[in-house]
Amino acid sequence: MGRWEPNARGRLQKAALELYAERGFDATTVAEIAARAGLTERTFFRHFADKREVLFGGSQAMEEHLVKATVSALAQEPGPGPVEAITAALAEMADELFVGEHRSLARHRHAVITAHPELRERELIKMASLAAAVAGALREHGISEPGASLAAEAGTAIFKVAFERWVSAPGDRPLSAFIHETAATLKSVTGS
């Protein structure tokens, strides 16, 4: 292992997202990302397997965070409904992971992915995997099928729609506010 570079991962991520936005994902090389971050290609590959992993490397952490928060929301008294629990978990995750400089990184990332069909597909796969993980956690905590899968799908729909509104909204309104608002809208269009 080479010498330790302070916050190398974060610097590489920021440099990569800037370059993807400026030149497009396909036209950006790892050498350029490393140069912009003031680091070597070797350091890049110590943190990321490839250019694409810069965009999706956080998926696992997001999934784990969300599953854990969902389980803890289900344990609250009085017991929330499944979608209510996932909504609380999504809002908690948003307040943890999508604040400060992560906010602008998330917006850059979204623009890059939206502009690129292959990355959009990868994002769909990520969301499907997230839904499967949350459905599994719900089943383990006593929610039967098809309720568990439906609640998980509803949760990812809430996140997806809230996230898109958040990235395109001006101002500083937090993602968690969009999540709560979107969940209320889902309730109303589902019309009980």
| Positions that interact with a copy of itself (CB under 8 A) | 80-84, 121, 124-125, 128, 143, 146-147, 149-151, 153-154, 157-158, 160-162, 165, 182, 185-192
**Residue with Cβ nearer a copy of itself (35 or 127):** 127
**Residue with Cβ nearer a copy of itself (6 or 191):** 191
How near is the Cβ of 126 to a copy of itself at its closest, in Å? 10
Q: How many CA atoms lie within 13 A of 142 on its CB side?
A: 6
Cα→Cα distances 46→5, 15, 34, 51, 79, Å: 11, 16, 12, 12, 44
Give the DSSP per-residue string, 25-89: TTT--HHHHHHHHTS-HHHHHHH-SSTTHHHHTTHHHHHHHHHHHHHHHHTSSSPPPHHHHHHHH
9 Cβ contact list (under 8 Å, min separation 6)? 47
How near is the Cβ of 159 to a copy of itself at its closest, in Å? 10
User: Cβ(89)–Cβ(63) under 8 Å?
Assistant: no
Question: Closest Cα to residue 74, out of 148, 157, 185?
Answer: 148
**Residue with Cβ nearer a copy of itself (100 or 144):** 144
**Residue with Cβ nearer a copy of itself (27 or 125):** 125
How near is the Cβ of 182 to a copy of itself at its closest, in Å? 6
**Residue with Cβ nearer a copy of itself (29 or 185):** 185
How near is the Cβ of 104 to a copy of itself at its closest, in Å? 23
How near is the Cβ of 179 to a copy of itself at its closest, in Å? 11
